[in-house]
Every structure is written in structure tokens, then in C-alpha cells.
């Protein structure tokens, strides 16, 4: 989650697979709960290296003076920094918007349902389907006003 004076957001991750169940792919997401737009995403592993790649995709305006609220996953600490990353529990309510988006994403994109027969056969198609969904989802949200 991001914190920026009047702007808030959230990073989180969820998993799916490509080709076979043993090929897990983690979807890293950052959401701005003011307008509920997805501001960045990354598909890859769940390591600190992937957290760094994800962080690089977040727009500079959010990285400049924002604080990030997420679960206690330690991979976030290195790229976001101890000063800007705040681990919080689900009971805090600070990650509610991103958790709700994850549920929406799983409902609307069958390839992301864990026990579905639908799945991506290639990573390129997997990322393309996610990007297509996120672009359409963001179009439904209010535009950012800075």
C-alpha cells in the first residue's frame, strides 16, 4: 500500500501457474486506493529480485514521497526501504482494497483461479491477459488528478 499525504495505495502478490501447476508465477500488484487504479504490476517469482523488478515499475511520483503498507513479506523491505515499507496485518484494514482487487481478478480472469481448468500455456500470453484485464479495469476507475 502506498501512503502519500492525500494519496494511498497497496502492493500485494498472488500466485497462479503457467503450463503446469509446478510452474508458479507470482503477480505483484500496486494499487492506489484513492481511485482504485492499479499503478504497477510484475509477473515472476516471489524473491527479493522480483520485488526489485516490481518496485522499478512503480511510477516515480509514488516512490518519491509515498509510504507502502503491505503484509509482512520480507522481500518488500529491500526495494521499498525500512523508512517507506510498513508491514501490517489484515485486521488493520490498510490492505483491504488490494485484497478486494485480488478477489475481483480471480473472479474475472479464469486463468488466475487456482483450481480451474483454464490456464495460460505461455508466460507471454499470461502476462498479456493480465495486462489486458488491468488496462480495462483502470479505464473504469477515475483518472488520477495531481
All residues at 6 or more sequence positions from 137 whose CB lies less than 8 Å from its CB, including other chains: 37, 38, 104
Kindly list the domain boundaries of the chain, sorted by start residue.
2-140
Question: What is residue 53's predicted lDDT score, i.e. its pLDDT?
Answer: 95
pLDDT value for 12: 62
pLDDT of residue 120: 77
- Average pLDDT score over the chain: 79
Superfamily of domain 2-140: Ribonuclease H-like superfamily/Ribonuclease H (3.30.420.10)
Please state the pTM of the whole predicted model.
0.78
CB-facing half-sphere around the CA of 58: CA atoms within 13 A: 27
Greater confidence, 33 or 88? 88
Q: 62-112, pLDDT tens digit by residue?
A: 887 777 778 878 888 888 887 887 778 778 877 788 888 888 888 877 677
What pLDDT sits at residue 49?
94
Amino acid at each position: 500500500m502506498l501512503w502519500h499525504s492525500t494519496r494511498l495505495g497497496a502492493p500485494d502478490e498472488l500466485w497462479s501457474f503457467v503450463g503446469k501447476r509446478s510452474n508458479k508465477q507470482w503477480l505483484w500488484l500496486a494499487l492506489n486506493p484513492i481511485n482504485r487504479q492499479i499503478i504497477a504490476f510484475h509477473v515472476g517469482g516471489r524473491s527479493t529480485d522480483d520485488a526489485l523488478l516490481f518496485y522499478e515499475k512503480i511510477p516515480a511520483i509514488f516512490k518519491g514521497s509515498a509510504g507502502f503498507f503491505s503484509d509482512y513479506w520480507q522481500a518488500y523491505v529491500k526495494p521499498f526501504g525500512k523508512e517507506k515499507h510498513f508491514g501490517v496485518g489484515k485486521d488493520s484494514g490498510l490492505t483491504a482494497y488490494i485484497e478486494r482487487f485480488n478477489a475481483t481478478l480471480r473472479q474475472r480472469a479464469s486463468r488466475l483461479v487456482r483450481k480451474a481448468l483454464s490456464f495460460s500455456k505461455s508466460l507471454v500470453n499470461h502476462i498479456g491477459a493480465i495486462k489486458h484485464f488491468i488496462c480495462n479495469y483502470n479505464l473504469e476507475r477515475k483518472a488520477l488528478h495531481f
